[in-house]
């Protein structure tokens, strides 16, 4: 049996220690711990990495602190439009949804696309119809109504800016959540989920549901989940780029992450970060922004939780 390991993120951006109260920081730390424990619980019972990834992301989606699921930001039209994707490193199966509304856990819907449809990627009304058919859990609009998100929309509308961040105190933050894991069987998995951008125009799709950009997993190399300015992550095919640097150039996970996040993305102005785990259970949590909500846990090791630059 291999040793299991799991890592999660709750978004990257301008997260400054100076603008965070001790109480607020504690709330985030508790939320990250809760999510990683939900994933770890699966792995401890010799469960599958894909189930651990789903469990951790569901926990983050259900928490209004993060821009995914319940905590999704409002689009220009005052709606919540969510994207998610998931990938299994063992067989390279994948599932993704974009622009879905009123779905309690988009990551579960992405997994259903992978397992219960002949497709990989479904968007918009068609994805909604698919959700109904498989009896996905729907929630009314008010479940997704979080006051400070609504206030953000009003503020963004005033200046007619598209806000990538989602905090009330003007931090720039890329609201995405994600998880990567390796289980005791040596199988890798990755998943990502987002509530989009405040005041975004209906229909914008970021990197979150794009296999190869926002999410990728392959037992041969690594599992990756990204968070950042999606347009740059799409153009850079970020998640698969790390896998290719390992597979074709023989780089370590750390070196591949350094090149992609700290050099290539920086050069084109692509702010953000990612979480990564390789087939040996090594974990990397690189980001080129001020901070990234992140946590990791390896079997028989201490839990790590980080928010700012260490």
- Are the CB atoms for 226 and 119 separated by under 8 Å? no
Q: Is 237 in the site for a copy of itself (CB under 8 A)?
A: yes
- DSSP state, residue 3: P
Residue 299 burial (CB < 10 Å; 0-12/13-18/19+)? Answer: middle
Binding mask 11-50 for a copy of itself (x = CB under 8 A): ----------------------------------------
Q: Is 89 in the site for a copy of itself (CB under 8 A)?
A: no
Whole-angstrom distance, CA of residue 162 vs CA of residue 242: 29
* Min separation Cβ 60 and a copy of itself, Å: 24
Nearer to a copy of itself among residue 24 and residue 249 (C-beta) = 249
Residue 52 burial (CB < 10 Å; 0-12/13-18/19+)? Answer: buried
* Number of other CB atoms surrounding residue 142 within 10 Å: 6
Active site residue 176: yes
Q: Is 212 in the site for a copy of itself (CB under 8 A)?
A: yes
163 strand-pairing partners = 198
Nearer to a copy of itself among residue 40 and residue 81 (C-beta) = 81
Whole-angstrom distance, CA of residue 158 vs CA of residue 108: 35
* Min separation Cβ 309 and a copy of itself, Å: 28
Q: Is 73 in the site for a copy of itself (CB under 8 A)?
A: no
* Min separation Cβ 81 and a copy of itself, Å: 9
Q: Is 127 in the site for a copy of itself (CB under 8 A)?
A: yes
**Among residues 230, 273, 286, 291, which is the contact residue for a copy of itself, using CB under 8 A?**
230
**Among residues 268, 301, 303, 309, which is the contact residue for a copy of itself, using CB under 8 A?**
268
The angle, 0 to 180 degrees and rounded to 10, between the axes of the packed helices 106-116 and 49-61 is 150
Stretch of residues binding a copy of itself (CB under 8 A), selected from 19-27, 48-56, 62-70, 127-135: 127-135
Stretch of residues binding a copy of itself (CB under 8 A), selected from 30-38, 117-125, 272-280, 284-292: 117-125
Please pick, among 14, 161, 167, 176, the residue that the annotation labels catalytic.
176
Stretch of residues binding a copy of itself (CB under 8 A), selected from 36-44, 182-190, 207-215, 274-282: 207-215
- The DSSP bridge pattern shows strands 188-194 and 215-217 to be unpaired
* Min separation Cβ 94 and a copy of itself, Å: 5
- Are the CB atoms for 285 and 9 separated by under 8 Å? yes
Taking Cα atoms as reference points, which of 196, 195, 128 lies closest to residue 162? Answer: 196
Q: Is 204 in the site for a copy of itself (CB under 8 A)?
A: yes
What's the chain's length in residues? 310
- Are the CB atoms for 297 and 40 separated by under 8 Å? yes
Q: Phi/psi of residue 231, each to 5°?
A: -60, -40
Q: Which two tokens stand for residue 110?
A: 């992405």
Number of residues that bind a copy of itself (CB under 8 A): 44
Nearer to a copy of itself among residue 16 and residue 251 (C-beta) = 251
Whole-angstrom distance, CA of residue 211 vs CA of residue 277: 17
Q: Whose structure tokens read 């922004």?
A: 289
Instruction: Give catalytic residues, as residue numbers.
Output: 176
Residues that bind a copy of itself (CB under 8 A): 87, 92-94, 98-99, 118-130, 162, 201-206, 210-213, 216, 230-231, 234-237, 240-241, 244-245, 248-249, 268
């Amino acid at each position: 049996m291999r040793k299991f390991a799991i890592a999660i993120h709750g978004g990257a951006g301008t997260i400054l220690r100076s603008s965070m109260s001790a109480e607020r920081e504690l709330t985030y730390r508790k939320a990250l711990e809760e999510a990683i424990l939900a994933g770890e619980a699966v792995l401890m019972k010799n469960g599958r990495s894909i189930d651990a990834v789903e469990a951790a992301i569901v926990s983050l989606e259900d928490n209004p602190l993060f821009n995914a699921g319940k905590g999704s930001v409002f689009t220009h039209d005052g709606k919540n439009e969510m994207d998610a994707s998931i990938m299994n490193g063992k067989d390279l199966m994948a599932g993704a949804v974009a622009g879905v509304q009123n779905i309690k856990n988009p990551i579960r819907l992405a997994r259903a696309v992978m397992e219960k449809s002949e497709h990989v990627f479904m968007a918009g009304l068609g994805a909604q119809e698919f959700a109904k058919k498989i009896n996905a859990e729907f929630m009314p609009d008010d479940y997704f109504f979080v006051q400070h998100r609504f206030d953000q929309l009003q503020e963004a509308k005033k200046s007619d800016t598209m806000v990538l961040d989602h905090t009330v105190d003007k931090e720039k933050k890329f609201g995405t959540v994600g998880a990567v894991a390796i289980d005791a069987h040596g199988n890798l998995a990755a998943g990502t989920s987002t509530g989009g951008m405040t005041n975004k125009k209906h229909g914008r799709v970021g990197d979150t549901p794009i296999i190869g950009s926002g999410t990728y997993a392959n037992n041969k190399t690594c599992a990756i989940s990204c968070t950042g300015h999606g347009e740059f992550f799409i153009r850079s095919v970020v998640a698969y780029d790390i896998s290719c640097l390992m597979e074709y150039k023989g780089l370590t996970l750390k070196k591949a992450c350094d090149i992609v996040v700290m050099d290539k993305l920086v050069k084109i102005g692509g702010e953000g970060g990612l979480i990564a785990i390789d087939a040996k259970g090594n974990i990397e949590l690189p980001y080129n922004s001020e901070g990234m909500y992140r946590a990791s846990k390896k079997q028989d090791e201490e839990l790590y939780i980080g928010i700012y630059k260490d």
